[in-house]
Structure 1
Amino acid sequence: MELKRRSLLAAIGAGTAAAALSACGTGTSAGGSADGPAEGEITLLTPIYDGADGKTLLEKEILGGFRKKYPDVKVNVDYTTYEQLNEKITTGLAGGLLPDVLMMGVGWIPPFAAKKAIAELPEKFATAHDYEKRVLEPSRYDGKLYALPVVLDTRIVVYRKDHFAEAGIKKTPANWAELRAVAKQLTKDGRIGFDPFSIHLRQCWETFLFANGGQLFSADGKKVLFTDARGVEALQFFKDLIKDGSA
């Protein structure tokens, strides 16, 4: 199985934030050993190539090159959402039928690696691409590699200068207290001052957690850190915005 999974990972690996992982489950398996020919079937569970455009990108462009290189390997794609992903994985664990390759977001790897639900990857995969060391950190648990980064994105804030001018706000907020005050000022006539729901709220909260100096897990991935004071403060900030009516 290693050859088949490695080839698929090599075909789709670039960037970070969501990760492709080889599962320990007994899903539809490709025939032969790691040293044999690349043939058979691979199952891939993914929440990130949604919609018609996403499906075209994955199956035509990304997997297209893989299929040309390995014409005897069939890739069966199971599309899902992040909301349903955990249920699909846990159901697969309970039934002993996990896909060969899973794709999930940052923060998912340590919990599933700790439960031995996903398989360790050869360390040489870490040097197969020009990854920054920090980019690979979320893909590790207890110092071992369990995933390869696939997607790298950034978080930006967009604001309306005319709304700021209308409210008499002359500068952008420099800290959370100022952001909350500005959000309250901007909330009027059915308009909300700050919209954390423009992306998945968990992802928005993670951004504030990191900005507050927090981390999801310890360096070895064995200890949960997001429940400490920094994580609670980030969550409290959102609760305060809702209390103000400005989110």
Structure 2
Amino acid sequence: MSERFEVGQTVTHSRYGEGVVTYGPYKSSFGEDAYLVRRGDGVEKTWFGRYISAVPTPPAFAVGDKVTGACVAGQGEIVAGPFTSKWDGCEFWVVADPDGQHSAPSADGITKVESPAPIEVGDRVRVVRAFAVTNWIGRVGTVTSVTERFREHLGDLHSYVVNDGSDSVYAAEVERVTDEDVYEHNGVIYDLSAKYRDRDGDVWRLKRVGDVVRARMTDDGDVPTADSSTLATVAGTWGPLTHVTD
């Protein structure tokens, strides 16, 4: 008896290579199990079950992966697997917790922790740590270099240079900015996608131009440019600025 395959399953033919099952199984005129299979060129062909086999699905995890889950204390690391439980046939892995303890969660009980993409020149980042420059902590700027060697000889490598439009700093640790649509000035959080009304009733739009947030008075959709006033100037001269909700 040939193996049974499901619609949507990727299979391989002993002669014609791989394809995806689109219909079946059904009995052919020869009384054999048959399937309609879409090949890589988009053409559908009838393949007999006795000539095809399943393409193994690669494991969802690998030894060395960082994972989280209800049975994992913090962020664990897979150290062995996969294994098949003799009790229910489920797949499980051996995970080492940060404290050295081990657990054996099922594959559907853990989630892989994806490593963030490396920081590159041009990325917008927030400075997390910079030697002896505490006023830069939390400041946002653009990465202009990722290959610096500042303080490397002291075991405290500062490989990043971050520029905020007016000044630069060597940074040891940075994080990619995910909230570029907001900006904080003098303790006020501004939504850069919104409009604001000043104390005279005039409406302003905000936009980050390079590394500077600028504002432009407008009623017709015009957006700030590099020649527009900075948000700091507008807020200090005509503020407070009130969020326009309509």
Q: TM-score, normalised by structure 1?
A: 0.21
Q: TM-score, normalised by structure 2?
A: 0.21
The structure that has the greater radius of gyration is 2
Structure number with higher strand proportion:
2
